[in-house]
Amino acid sequence: MATGLRSLIESGTKLWLDSIDPEFLRINRERGATGATSNPIIVTDIIRTGRFDRELVALMEKRLGDEQIAWELTDLLVRQAQEVFRLVHEATHGDDGYVSFELDPLLEDAGRNLPHEERVRQYVALGKRWSAGHTNRMIKVPATPAGIEALRPLAAAGITLNVTLIFTPRQYRAAREAVWAGAQQLSSRERFKSVYSIFVSRVDVYTAQKVPALSTAAQGQVGIVLAKRIWKENTDFWASRNLALRQEIVFASTGTKNPSDDPAKYVQALAGSDIETNPPATNQAVEQSGRIISRSVDQMPLAAVLGEIDRLVDMDQLEETLVREGVIKFAEPHQGLISLIAQRRAILRTVPAAVTPTPA
Whether 248 and 276 have beta carbons less than 8 Å apart is answered as: no
Taking residue 262's Cβ as centre, other Cβ atoms within 10 Å add up to: 15
Q: How far apart are CA 143 and CA 24, in angstroms?
A: 28
Note the pLDDT of residue 349.
84
- For residue 104, the model assigns a pLDDT of 97
Evaluate if residue 262 carries a pLDDT over 80: yes
**What would the mean pLDDT of 76-101 be, rounded to a whole number?**
99
Tell me how crowded residue 169 is: count the other CB atoms within 10 A of its CB: 17
User: Domain residues for 228?
Assistant: 4-353
d(CA 92, CA 82): 14
> From CA 291, how far away is CA 263, in angstroms rounded?
12
Question: Rounded CA gap, 336 and 346, in Å?
Answer: 15
Q: Which tops the pLDDT comparison, 11 or 110?
A: 11
Does residue 133 lie in a domain region? Answer: yes
Is residue 356 over pLDDT 90?
A: no
Return d(Cα 172, Cα 175) in angstroms, integer.
Answer: 5
Give me the pLDDT at residue 352, please. 55
359 in a structural domain: no
**Confidence tier at 247 by pLDDT (50, 70, 90):** very high
Residue 2: pLDDT above 70? yes
Residue 358: inside a domain: no
What total of structural domains would you count in the chain?
1
The answer to whether residue 360 is domain-embedded is no
Residue 355: is its pLDDT beyond 60? Answer: no
Q: Distance (Å, rounded) from C-alpha 158 to C-alpha 185?
A: 9
Q: How many CB atoms lie within 10 A of CB 110?
A: 10
Query: What's the pLDDT score for residue 350?
Result: 77
**Band (357; pLDDT cuts 50, 70, 90):** very low
| pLDDT at residue 359 tops 80 | no
Q: What is the mean pLDDT of residues 114-120?
A: 98
Tell me if 82 sits within 8 A of 137, measured CB to CB. Answer: yes
Over residues 341-360, the mean pLDDT reads 70
Please, are residues 135 and 93 in contact by the beta-carbon 8 Å criterion? no
What percent of the chain has a predicted confidence (pLDDT) above 70?
97
Give the model's pLDDT for residue 1.
Answer: 81
Tens-digit pLDDT profile for residues 161-174: 999 999 999 999 99
User: Which alpha helices (H) appear in the chain, and where do they start and end?
Assistant: 4-10, 22-30, 40-48, 53-61, 66-84, 86-91, 116-131, 145-156, 169-183, 201-210, 222-239, 265-269, 280-289, 303-312, 315-350
Quote the CA–CA distance of 321 and 225 in Å, as a whole number: 18
Percent of the chain with pLDDT over 90: 95
Residues paired with 44 in a beta bridge: none
What is the DSSP track for 206-264?
HHHHH-TTS-TTTTT-HHHHHHHHHHHHHHHHHHTS--SS--EEEEE--S--STTS-TT
Our CA dihedral for 348, 351, 353, 357, rounded to 10 degrees, sits at: -10
Q: What is the pLDDT of residue 351?
A: 64
The secondary structure of residue 291, as a DSSP letter, is P
Does residue 217 surpass a pLDDT of 60?
yes
> What pLDDT does 84 receive?
99
Residues for the chain: how many in total? Answer: 360
CATH of the domain at 106: 3.20.20.70
What is the tens place of the pLDDT at every residue in 31-56?
999 999 999 999 999 999 999 999 99
Let me know if residue 32 belongs to a domain: yes
